Amino acid sequence: MHPVADEPHPPNTVNSTGPRLGIIGGGQLARMTAISAQQLGCEVVVLENNHHSPAAAFASRSVVGDWQTMEALLELASQVDMITLENEFVDAAHLAQLESAGHTVLPNSRTMALVQDKFTQKKTLESAGLPIPKVRATANQDELLAAIEEFGLPVVLKTRRNGYDGKGNATIRNLDEVDSAWQQLGGHRGNPLFVEEFCPFSAELAVIITRGRDGEAAIYPVVETVQENHICHLVRAPAQVSSEISARAADIARRAVESVNAVGSFGVEMFLTAGGEILINELAPRVHNSGHYTIEACACSQFENHIRAVLGLPLGSTRMVAPAAAMVNLLGTAPASGRANGFAEALAVPDAHVHLYGKALSEQGRKMGHVTALGKTLADAEQAAIRCAKNIHFGTLS
């Protein structure tokens, strides 16, 4: 056996010779995607508005620019063989221009056009025969009042585009709140809104599906998500529901991603009602917070499968490698430095895995990292994840 150090280094061992993958956006989803892409030999380039994004540390380089401009998108495109996205906010018309210029974007611009406007998305799902809550586009407050009359209170007013972590939503519980909800979401400025019936769910379910270029689908276990203040707090895998409900949720999710001709990993969020009805809440055309547990808990993670899908490679197994897993998000609580205190105590918890996203600053509700714990039972996994996560706090500015 030769010591590795004695091996002559052929030229180019530093630069990857694999496909060059561009990721629009440099947040934690791009970071975890980049890690998998590197593992599969890709050269990764991220597009973000600074050099220090969470994904930059795992990319060969960053293109610094505004992904809302064609200029930045074309610069990224000129450096890579194909492009994928970490968010649903990039204008589909811009993505179509990239495609017209001969670049490959996956998921493609048609899929993004159907998904990035939540009202269009819901109507697309409805046309495919899939169950959704009652929704109505509202051009003005009179139309909103008419929908409230029909649906009954409460209702949830939502921005058609650019909502995340509940930031594009306002629940209206009585008629006095109509005007403030309308103002809060920018209705008076012409920001397009729609209204949705309130779903008194007994649980929220989610499924990650990775769909290949050939339409083959890898379906992950159905999980339960728990939101606090509209932000994902906890994911329980698998969801503790009957096998009939779990099979129905997986089937609805598969048909949902097919209806928009998805390629790559998609998250499908659903409401389960007390009567056992399943309604689709929303589709995310990207890797999703409810699938972070797949890094440790599944044979092939949602991130690796995303890369496999966009590269046209065989998809990996979605099988869980432990009986149960739980994921807890690490959120900032105030404007502070991004430094994690209590890290050592957190790492002392067995079977828990800590992920930090490398963000320089924390803010209230900002996703700074997550913890996944595996267990023989869901209760074990959940206890370990919570025990681990509660040690970690992000430092205050001083």
Ligand X SMILES: Nc1ncnc2c1ncn2[C@@H]1O[C@H](COP(=O)(O)OP(=O)(O)O)[C@@H](O)[C@H]1O
Selection from Mg ion, ligand X, none that 223 binds (CB < 5 to 8 A by kind) is: none
**164 is an interface residue for ligand X by CB under 6 A:** yes
Among 18, 65, 166, 358, binds ligand X (CB under 6 A): 166
**89 is an interface residue for ligand X by CB under 6 A:** no
**198 is an interface residue for ligand X by CB under 6 A:** yes
- Provide the token pair at 29: 């989803």
Least distance from Mg ion to the Cβ atom of residue 284, Å: 7
Between 143 and 165, name the residue whose CB sits nearer to ligand X: 165
Q: Strand 61-64 relative to strand 201-211: parallel, antiparallel, unpaired?
A: unpaired
Residues in the chain: 398
**How far, in Å, CA of 194 to CA of 289, rounded?**
24
**165 is an interface residue for ligand X by CB under 6 A:** yes
Instruction: Give yes or no for a contact between 182 and 188, defined as CB atoms under 8 angstroms apart.
Output: yes
**Type of residue found at 27:** G
Dihedral sign (CA 90, 93, 94, 95): positive
Segment interacting with Mg ion, rule: CB under 5 A, options 114-122, 155-163, 190-198, 266-274: 266-274
Selection from ligand X, Mg ion, none that 187 binds (CB < 5 to 8 A by kind) is: none
Selection from ligand X, Mg ion, none that 227 binds (CB < 5 to 8 A by kind) is: ligand X
Find the Cα–Cα–Cα–Cα dihedral 187, 193, 197, 203, rounded to 10°: -110
**163 is an interface residue for ligand X by CB under 6 A:** yes
N- to C-terminal Cα separation, the chain: 54
| Side-chain half-sphere CA neighbours of 392 within 13 A | 30
Selection from ligand X, Mg ion, none that 323 binds (CB < 5 to 8 A by kind) is: none
Between 196 and 382, name the residue whose CB sits nearer to ligand X: 196
**How far, in Å, CA of 305 to CA of 360, rounded?**
29
Q: Which residues pair with 128 in a beta bridge?
A: none
Among 37, 98, 199, 272, binds ligand X (CB under 6 A): 199
**Type of residue found at 58:** F
Segment interacting with ligand X, rule: CB under 6 A, options 27-35, 40-48, 195-203, 343-351: 195-203
Q: Exposed e or buried b for every residue in 307-335, given b needs 16+ CB within 10 A?
A: bbbbbeeebbebebebebbbbbbbbbeee
Between 229 and 377, name the residue whose CB sits nearer to ligand X: 229
Selection from Mg ion, ligand X, none that 48 binds (CB < 5 to 8 A by kind) is: none
Instruction: Give yes or no for a contact between 319 and 299, defined as CB atoms under 8 angstroms apart.
Output: yes
Question: Interface residues for ligand X in 271-300 (CB under 6 A)?
Answer: 281-282
Least distance from ligand X to the Cβ atom of residue 209, Å: 17
Closest CA to 372 of 349, 394, 397, 342: 349
Question: Interface residues for ligand X in 214-233 (CB under 6 A)?
Answer: 227, 230
Between 168 and 212, name the residue whose CB sits nearer to ligand X: 168
Distance of CA 13 to the CA centre of its chain: 33
Segment interacting with ligand X, rule: CB under 6 A, options 54-62, 66-74, 193-201, 291-299: 193-201
Selection from Mg ion, ligand X, none that 198 binds (CB < 5 to 8 A by kind) is: ligand X
Least distance from ligand X to the Cβ atom of residue 204, Å: 6
Between 37 and 279, name the residue whose CB sits nearer to ligand X: 279
Residue that has been written with the tokens 């046209």 in this structure: 312
**133 is an interface residue for ligand X by CB under 6 A:** yes
Q: Which residues pair with 330 in a beta bridge?
A: 369
Distant-in-sequence, close-in-space partners of 8: CB < 8 Å, separation ≥ 6:
none
The residue number whose beta carbon is nearest to ligand X equals 199
Q: What residue ranges bind ligand X (CB under 6 A)?
A: 133, 156, 163-166, 168-169, 196, 198-199, 204, 227, 230, 269, 281-282
